[in-house]
Amino acid sequence: PPSAANVICRIENPVDHECPNQGGLLRPLRESSDLFRVSLEEARRAAEEASAAKTRFIANMSHELRTPLNAIIGYSEIMREGAEDAARSEDVADHDRILRAARHLLRMINEILDLSKIEAGRVQLDVETYDVGELVEAAIDAVRPQAEANGNAFAIDIACEQMGVTRTDTLKLHQCLVNLLANAVKFTKAGLISLRARRAGQNLVFEVRDTGIGIAAKKLDELFQPFVQADSSETRSADGAGLGLAITRTFAHLLGGDVTVESAPGQGSTFRLVVAAELHVAEDEGVSPFNMMLRA
């Protein structure tokens, strides 16, 4: 077949519309179009192969990094318990620093792995029945060490009498709550972090409010983009890769909802997470309220 350059040279003359036989003049244009289609298809396949290779690399590297990190965390917890039993307060503080650093690295690795799965379209829903109160407690436990380090308190208000037995993808909802709580903890020092949950029809609505530094209006639109930090200044004190909120919005969309934010500098922030969740209530199953103030 002719090259694209030859085709351009062959069709540069104008077509005579009065000539009854124009098929030969138009054929090079069709040949050129075919060449472009083939080229685009090859480029698409190459891009897909590169994306798949990147996903495999990230998954393999994540596994190689998480394995020793989990060992570090496990042994550090054991040594911390020993130091605590022996009343060696300095050793306990040192082990706490090791644990915070290791958990921070593990969280970042998990976020990068989640993002690679999202980009590769490999995220699927796994719907199951769960108790909202237990889910919230697990999310708070995940961020409690950092909250303790920052001197924050939690205020939890969950209308369990409205929740019943709920069905959705528990792991993804848990990850959304952990990400929102971790974000609030990160930008709040010696303040209050409130988590409020209600049912609205077939949806669950969670609000995470903090008394932290707040977010400038110009930052709100891009806050849910990957690798974007609420505090992007060179002197920012908060850590993280800027992936948690991007992952949260993607998971919220997968769960049939969304996440939004209201904030102002110095006024704290309120993140509102809405997810679709079926309601299943057993006839003899009682649900107790879950309203309390916990000191982190």
User: Which residue has better confidence, 69 or 235?
Assistant: 69
Claim to verify: residue 63 and residue 24 sit in the same structural domain? yes
Claim to verify: residue 200 and residue 267 sit in the same structural domain? yes
Claim to verify: residue 159 and residue 268 sit in the same structural domain? yes
Claim to verify: residue 20 and residue 52 sit in the same structural domain? yes
Claim to verify: residue 147 and residue 290 sit in the same structural domain? yes
Claim to verify: residue 186 and residue 283 sit in the same structural domain? yes
What tokens were used for 23?
């098929």
User: Which residue has better confidence, 215 or 239?
Assistant: 215
Claim to verify: residue 66 and residue 108 sit in the same structural domain? yes
Residue 6 pLDDT > 70, yes or no? no
Place of tokens 């919230």: 136
How many domains does the chain divide into? 2
**15 SS3 class:** coil
Claim to verify: residue 141 and residue 245 sit in the same structural domain? yes
Cα(134)–Cα(42) distance, integer angstroms = 50
Tens of pLDDT, residue by residue over 152-162, are: 999 999 887 67
Maximum mean pLDDT: which of 5-9, 118-122, 181-185: 181-185
* pLDDT confidence bin for 185, thresholds 50/70/90: very high
| 73: CB partners within 8 A, 6+ apart | 99, 102, 103, 106
User: Which residue has better confidence, 225 or 110?
Assistant: 225
Mean pLDDT of 135-141: 89
Of 88, 122, 156, the residue at which a domain comes to its end is 122
Q: On the CB side of 155, how many CA atoms lie within 13 Å of its CA?
A: 10
What tokens were used for 91?
């050793």
Compute the 3-state secondary structure of the chain and give helix, strand, coil in percent, each to the nearest 5: 55, 20, 30
User: Which residue has better confidence, 274 or 99?
Assistant: 274
Claim to verify: residue 63 and residue 210 sit in the same structural domain? no
- Domain limits at 48? 1-122
Of 122, 148, 177, the residue at which a domain comes to its end is 122
pTM of structure: 0.67
Phi/psi of residue 160, nearest 5 degrees? -65, -25
Of 122, 137, 170, the residue at which a domain comes to its end is 122
Q: CB–CB of 291/157 below 8 Å?
A: yes
What is the dihedral angle through the alpha carbons of 255, 258, 264, 266, rounded to the nearest 10 degrees? -10
* pLDDT confidence bin for 295, thresholds 50/70/90: very low
Claim to verify: residue 278 and residue 133 sit in the same structural domain? yes
* pLDDT confidence bin for 26, thresholds 50/70/90: low
Claim to verify: residue 261 and residue 145 sit in the same structural domain? yes
Claim to verify: residue 118 and residue 143 sit in the same structural domain? no
* pLDDT confidence bin for 271, thresholds 50/70/90: very high
